[in-house]
Amino acid sequence: MNGLLWVDGPAAPWSFLVATLGLGGLAAFAAGRALAHAWRPFSLCLAASALLAAVAGFLHYALFAESALPIGAIGAALAALPRAPAAALAELAGLLRHYAVIFLTLSGFAAAGFKLARARALRERYDFE
């Protein structure tokens, strides 16, 4: 699992546990609950998860000096896209791998918060057992 879930570094597994699962997971769960209480559609959970994944990537950088979302390298790969599309897309996929893992993890937390809050609201509103 080393290298897939977390960026290689001195605090590798702990950074994923603290920044992604701890702080990001709690924020995503709360966002999912808030969207469910406001009767918003589930698709907004994915948008909130995308924003929270960027914040968690920044927390990886700020707290642990790990680059989970290397903005400069992503910009260089996007700039090289017209010249060499295949190589640029391969580079971009490698750069966004950790962001995708963070996004999918936080989407799971947001979905859990959304579904639990929505089920509770439906039980209370329509007296389901």
pLDDT tens across the length of the chain (129 residues): 446 666 666 767 888 888 889 999 999 999 999 999 999 999 999 999 999 999 998 888 888 888 777 788 888 888 988 998 898 888 888 888 888 889 999 999 999 999 999 999 988 888 766
The pLDDT score that the predictor gives to residue 77 is 87
Nearest to 29 by CA among 116, 98, 101: 116
Decide: 9 and 65 in contact? Cβ < 8 Å: yes
The pLDDT score that the predictor gives to residue 72 is 81
The pLDDT score that the predictor gives to residue 107 is 97
The pLDDT score that the predictor gives to residue 29 is 98
| Calculated CA dihedral for residues 3, 46, 122, 117, nearest 10 degrees | 50
What is the rounded distance in angstroms from the CA atom of residue 119 to the CA atom of residue 111? Answer: 12
The pLDDT score that the predictor gives to residue 17 is 86
Domain boundaries, given as residue ranges, for the chain: 12-126
The pLDDT score that the predictor gives to residue 5 is 66
The pLDDT score that the predictor gives to residue 1 is 47
